[in-house]
Structure 1
């Protein structure tokens, strides 16, 4: 019971912006949460990333902590939700590229699979080379499936700013595939 009271006191202090309390809680639960996340991911690096996101979420939402409830349970719930979010994003990202490949094949591009794979790889490289905010917004829209308004709300920016970043991304993608009209056409159909 004493451990819960200690956790409760830590939760109260974290809510009051006490970084030392946060570090104590981090040290107390980090390894346990990584082990927990590992049961879902089967990958230590992914599990560690998820738990780091858990603690980022805890700190950024610290004002909402209910110190009358178990902070341990709250951490496990955040970890589980972070895993679900990560899993969904990864699946959505994979399906994004798979769908482009499938459309290319379905629309009878007369290229070999290897050429299509090269185009997909080139697209990934172009996306990775986008400016950070531009890439983040494109990924939120195309990989996570968020609408412009949802992105604007999450990033605390205007819808016009989201549109501007998306236009920049599309211009850079079009430029990278200039001369490859059929693939550009497929991308355009898919990305609008």
Structure 2
């Protein structure tokens, strides 16, 4: 039984620990995913929190038979699109790429984990400084300026190293695995 199966079991029993584990497992990746649709990180965070609240209060976990991952990503996507529709925002290219990436959320658990492992191994092979800057921005969610100050380099250098990291990862990873990375960028 996978960790996500255990979380789903706890949720179906009404155990709040299940919600806590679910939140810890999915919150950050879902926020990054929501940022493909929404311009502001705060909006993305609010959207994900709202999805979690509705998921728990509406006891929507009872309807899930297989995997939590596709359900949560689809819920976040729908919530974000509804928000944008309410604002009457004209959707651009980023939404199209977000739609393409949604296919990744339907990978089964073992394939998803395999791709995530490939992604982290490729990140670990980046040159030291490039890897650290990449991790600070993409995985830790820091701003370019914060990272530049931390490493005592210019913002331009941070952007250049990040672009290099993405280029190396794009060349090294297959398209589906690379598109998972785009959920976090």
TM-score, normalised relative to structure 1: 0.43
TM-score, normalised relative to structure 2: 0.44
Considering Cα pairs closer than 8 Å and 6+ residues apart, tell me whether 1 or 2 has the greater RCO. 2
